[in-house]
Amino acid sequence: MGKHDDYRHEHHRSNCDCDHDDIHHSYDHKPKPADQSCSVANVRTFGSAMSETTYPKTIKVPVTLAEPSVIVCVEAEVRLEKPALEIKRVLKSVILEQCELVNTFDPHKAKLFVRGFIRKNIEYATVDTASDRTVCGDIRHTTALIPFDFCTDLTFPTAGPTLQLAPDFSSSGQLLDCTGHGAQLNAALLGNRQVYNNKPYCQLVFAEFTELDIGRHLKTVNCYEKTFSVLQEKIVMKLGLKVLQEQQVPIPTHCPPPPPPPPFHCPKK
């Protein structure tokens, strides 16, 4: 190995700190040719025949697939900011985070996965001062988000609207070689078909609650009153849901009834 070769090798390992006018530097850093392993070439587009198809008058609207009512039991503990003497008022509402429909092996049945939370606002009385016969305090509130999730079965009526979720279809075939004794390995017949439908979705129709609230961690205020700082919730919730999907529905056409006959008048004598 010569002197210039040693210099060029040392230069390649020094991250190009020398002068860029050096001939050996220019030789070592020639741009590499672009990689042609992933490319698209020789593309041709062929014309296609256009044909018009006449369809009956239709409209694309949300179609109700099912209206289930589900009962869910939820248990949780809510820690209050200050010890409470009693609960004054409780307001609850439901917010859904997920409502997904998954079809099963039966075309008339599906599974509905639902997840959300109960937004519960608790108003309660606190204790600031107390004597043997009086208790004084403020009215405070705590808003808690209690999560829930469940899965329920859905059954679609056979006579009504059905779920439109057609699976993908694919096929393949082989051609015979020139001898007719085997497949032609460098050619194949491939086909595939995909059906695109609108995704089903849910709407919350109503929510009903019955509950049992139990105060925990009791502390004595006077001879008759006690406070609690933890509220144990036992909630029975009934949810009304509606499962819909946008589908193509024919517009009903009704022929107008014939006009009534003219009134009959007796001829005058």
Q: What's the pLDDT tens digit per position in 43-82?
A: 887 777 667 766 678 888 999 988 999 999 999 999 999 9
Which residues on neighbouring strands pair with residue 142, listed in sequence order?
122
- Per-residue pLDDT tens digits for 246-262: 988 888 777 777 888 88
- Model pLDDT, residue 29: 56
Mean pLDDT throughout 199-223?
A: 91
Band (97; pLDDT cuts 50, 70, 90): very high
Mean pLDDT of the chain: 82
Residue 166 phi/psi, 5-degree rounding, is -75, 135
Band (7; pLDDT cuts 50, 70, 90): very low
At 122, list the tokens: 């608790």
- Model pLDDT, residue 23: 46
Mean pLDDT throughout 120-146?
A: 91
d(CA 68, CA 124): 35
Say how many C-beta atoms besides its own lie within 10 A of residue 140's C-beta: 15
Band (34; pLDDT cuts 50, 70, 90): low
The rounded percent of the chain whose pLDDT value lies above 90 is 36
More reliable by pLDDT, 146 or 11: 146
Identify the CA nearest to 216 among candidates 224, 208, 226. 226
Identify the CA nearest to 161 among candidates 70, 246, 59. 246
pLDDT of 11 strictly over 50: no
- Model pLDDT, residue 118: 95
CA distances from 253 to 31, 58, 113, 249, 257 (A): 72, 11, 38, 12, 12
d(CA 219, CA 127): 11
pLDDT of 12 strictly over 50: no
More reliable by pLDDT, 168 or 242: 242
d(CA 219, CA 226): 5
C-beta of residue 144 within 8 angstroms of C-beta of residue 120: yes
pLDDT of 141 strictly over 90: yes
- Model pLDDT, residue 198: 86
d(CA 189, CA 185): 11
The pTM of this model reads 0.65
